[in-house]
Structure 1
Amino acid sequence: MPMPTISVSVRSLASWRTVALVFALLNLKALPLAWHCRLFYRMLSSWYTEARVKRLVASSSSSTSTSSATATHHPIFEPVSIFSRAPLLETDYNLHKSNSTYFSDLDESRTALMTRVLIPGLRHGSRALEREGHKGRLAVILGSVHTSFHREILPYERYEVRSRLLGWDRKWIVVGSWFVRPARNHKHKEKGNGKEEEPEVLLASALSKYVVKKGRFTVSPERCFTAAGWLSPGDHDCDHALHVQSSDAQTTEHRSDHLDNVPVSEGIPAAVPEAAADVTTEVVEKLETAAEALSQSQSPPAGPLDSHTTPAPTGNWDWHRIDAERLRGLNVAANWLALDKELLDEFLRG
């Protein structure tokens, strides 16, 4: 074969390899097994020890400084953020991030959050359950996801996914997530070299709920958080916070004051909220009780407590304020949680 022909073939082969390599690098996030690597990375990078949790909780509860007393979040409610971009393989025919790919980003963000809040007490919590006779694998299971899309995400645009705990009842851990375009500075045409800051923009929002299972038993979220060190058993007198309920116990137990209305089951829940209004009323009543307990030492939340505008509790992060914040978050998701019954009824109606 003549030398020029061989040279052209080698150059052609090298060119295709180069194009394939560049394409793979530009779409690294969407390649096979990349999702698994991303999740393991978030899990390892968000791994908290019990000692670290204790330091965070101590700094938020024992300090008497003004900044601590008016802190926006207790450590358990602190948001976890990841940053990402939408490669070409994640875009649809409109050249926007495809709606199906939002869920892989949510997996990544929620993995970071749930690792942070549950892992510290996982080992000895599992052993304690086994001593009580609850056998089987300990698992954190995603129950459902709801996502609303507000703005498009363009190819390779940088965005943040911010997730945090909203609240929990006797079964579900409710998580809120937000896709955000970060604030940025840009040149102002009329000001010449002057710069102005463009505020962050909400691109999408999502609600998710998790359940922790030990075999066929559902583990109370408060027990999980207490085992991890985020909550102290001495801070509250709710017996259910340290109790694991079986499916039989949950189906016959009277509804509590905060959405303990879904029993443990293998398939579709057998009982769900009767109406969003009932759920909201009970949450508001509990919030009013917590606010009254705070009023002796702290200023209570101003304004009426209703199902649409529930003000955030203020003051030091004692158990009453943590419980009020938990219920406020459940109030945000109350209508979504109650939708389970409507969907189930619609399915059964055929």
Structure 2
Amino acid sequence: MSAVTRLGLIGGVLTTSAALAGLSTLPAVRDTLTKHLGPNGVKHTWRLLALLVALLNLKNLPGFWHIRVLRGIIYQLYFQPHPQQPKHLFAPMITSSYNTPYDTDYNFHKSNSTYFADLDVARAHYMGCIIRTGLARLNKGDEQGLPKDTTEAGGKYFVALGSISCFFHKQIEPLQRFEIFTRVLSWDRKWLYVVSHIVKHGAVRPESYALQPWRKRKARRQGKGGEQEGDAQDLSKVIFATSVARYVFKKGRKTINPEVVLERSRLLPPRPDGVDLPPRTEGTPSDATPAPAETPSADDSWTWDDMEKERLRGLKIATHFDALSAAQHELRASEALGQYGDYW
């Protein structure tokens, strides 16, 4: 629903809020509140309302974004008890959150800009998980087989976010809960591509949890038409937004091939003899839609060829995203419409 069609609702909320605030200042109203709530009843009422607002918007309070991101990184780096297996390289990690009143815009749904803060938290968990072993081994000197210019480069190994995009499919209502499914999409000689899907809470039910084996499989819900939510053909109905991000690995100023880090993290099947680092076969943009993602089999038959097939399938999508970097050359500086401040 557009902002124009909601002007009546917005005006009604503002009018009601102003009326309640005005009524609380009237002597008769204050006397009534004092009679029933005590001498400090009015003061306590406002304090309780302020506390309620703070609790509803807890994740938006100053400093809480840092707590949420650092908690994800620290837990995955130091407290995650189970190692990830190569066959689960493309499996998603799920984080959950909700749309706070602070995140809600004048259209009364989640503001586009606030998606990125929640995606930061989801990717902090995920990236902390998949690279914790690889970066630790590299920084401790496990550089066997790396080029000489890499081993001689100064500085520590680290990862940095290169870019991010977000496609909005359905609106998220005030206080509505949602889940973010984040996983590796693909990688090439420079970038590791990560895809995140923001979906309706509880609509997609994994059959198992590789890093949390104590979680039991949950029965899938029945949709309005009798179909099971989470079936492959119905997933698009429960996706609120889709995001693609790309990461680069560095040693000082030297760029490191993502596959080096993934191998050091023990997330790749055994490399066949004679197979070098990417590019082996680079993806090229095309109009063809890649085949839907498939979940690897539950047995231990996940091979290098299986991994490479999935990497190349995802790379067909990633190259379209990568091509958008050409937009940096579209800045026009000779003539502008005007210049305006943020507040005045």
TM value normalised by structure 2:
0.68
Q: Does the C-alpha gap of structure 1 residues 33 and 337 become closer, same or farther in structure 2, counting only changes over 3 Å?
A: same
Structure 2 Cα separation of the partners of residues 28 and 140 of structure 1: 29
Structure 2 Cα separation of the partners of residues 175 and 45 of structure 1: 20
Is 2:216 the partner of 1:231? Answer: no
2:63 alignment partner, one of 33, 37, 51? 33
Structure 2 Cα separation of the partners of residues 11 and 198 of structure 1: 48
Is 2:158 the partner of 1:158? Answer: no
SS in structure 1 of the partner of residue 277 of structure 2: helix
Is 2:125 the partner of 1:112? Answer: yes
Is 2:125 the partner of 1:88? Answer: no
Q: 2:290, 2:317 within 8 Å by CA — same for their partners in 1?
A: no
Residue in structure 1 matched with residue 282 of structure 2 by the alignment:
258
1:204 alignment partner, one of 223, 237, 241? 241
Superposed CA deviations along residues 148-201 of structure 1, whole A, max 9, x for unmatched, are 11100001111111111011001100011111113274797x9xxxx8755561
Superposed CA deviations along residues 241-296 of structure 1, whole A, max 9, x for unmatched, are 6xxxxxxxxxxxxx76326xxxxxxxxxxxxxxxxxxx247xxxxxxxxxxxxxxx
Q: Does the C-alpha gap of structure 1 residues 50 and 238 become closer, same or farther in structure 2, counting only changes over 3 Å?
A: farther
Q: CA deviation at 1:8?
A: 5.8
Q: 1:50, 1:228 within 8 Å by CA — same for their partners in 2?
A: no
TM value normalised by structure 1:
0.67
Q: CA deviation at 1:226?
A: 0.8
Q: CA deviation at 1:324?
A: 1.2
Residue in structure 1 matched with residue 304 of structure 2 by the alignment:
319
Residue in structure 2 matched with residue 174 of structure 1 by the alignment:
193
Structure 2 Cα separation of the partners of residues 196 and 162 of structure 1: 22
Structure 1 Cα separation of the partners of residues 222 and 96 of structure 2: 20
2:48 alignment partner, one of 9, 13, 18? 18
Q: CA deviation at 1:140?
A: 1.3
Q: 2:189, 2:257 within 8 Å by CA — same for their partners in 1?
A: yes
Q: Does the C-alpha gap of structure 1 residues 107 and 94 become closer, same or farther in structure 2, counting only changes over 3 Å?
A: same
SS in structure 2 of the partner of residue 88 of structure 1: coil
Q: 2:191, 2:247 within 8 Å by CA — same for their partners in 1?
A: yes
Structure 2 Cα separation of the partners of residues 19 and 49 of structure 1: 37
Amino acid at match of 1:345: H
Which moved further from structure 2: 159-168 or 120-129? 120-129
Q: CA deviation at 1:128?
A: 2.6
Q: Does the C-alpha gap of structure 1 residues 206 and 50 become closer, same or farther in structure 2, counting only changes over 3 Å?
A: closer
Q: 1:27, 1:88 within 8 Å by CA — same for their partners in 2?
A: yes
2:116 alignment partner, one of 87, 95, 103? 103
Amino acid at match of 1:223: V
Is 2:168 the partner of 1:149? Answer: yes
Q: CA deviation at 1:312?
A: 5.9
Is 2:278 the partner of 1:329? Answer: no
| Structure 2: stretches of 5+ with no match in the other structure | 1-30, 144-149, 204-219, 335-344
Is 2:334 the partner of 1:347? Answer: no
SS in structure 1 of the partner of residue 40 of structure 2: helix
Q: 2:270, 2:304 within 8 Å by CA — same for their partners in 1?
A: no
Structure 1 Cα separation of the partners of residues 264 and 184 of structure 2: 17
Higher relative contact order (CA 8 A, sep 6+): 2
Structure 2 Cα separation of the partners of residues 39 and 207 of structure 1: 18
> Which structure has more helix as a fraction of its residues?
1
Which moved further from structure 2: 92-101 or 224-233? 224-233
SS in structure 2 of the partner of residue 125 of structure 1: helix
Q: CA deviation at 1:33?
A: 0.8
Superposed CA deviations along residues 62-112 of structure 1, whole A, max 9, x for unmatched, are xxxxxxxxxxxx211110111110010010011100101100111111111
| Structure 1: stretches of 5+ with no match in the other structure | 58-73, 242-254, 260-278, 282-305
Q: CA deviation at 1:317?
A: 1.5
Q: CA deviation at 1:32?
A: 0.8
Amino acid at match of 1:347: L
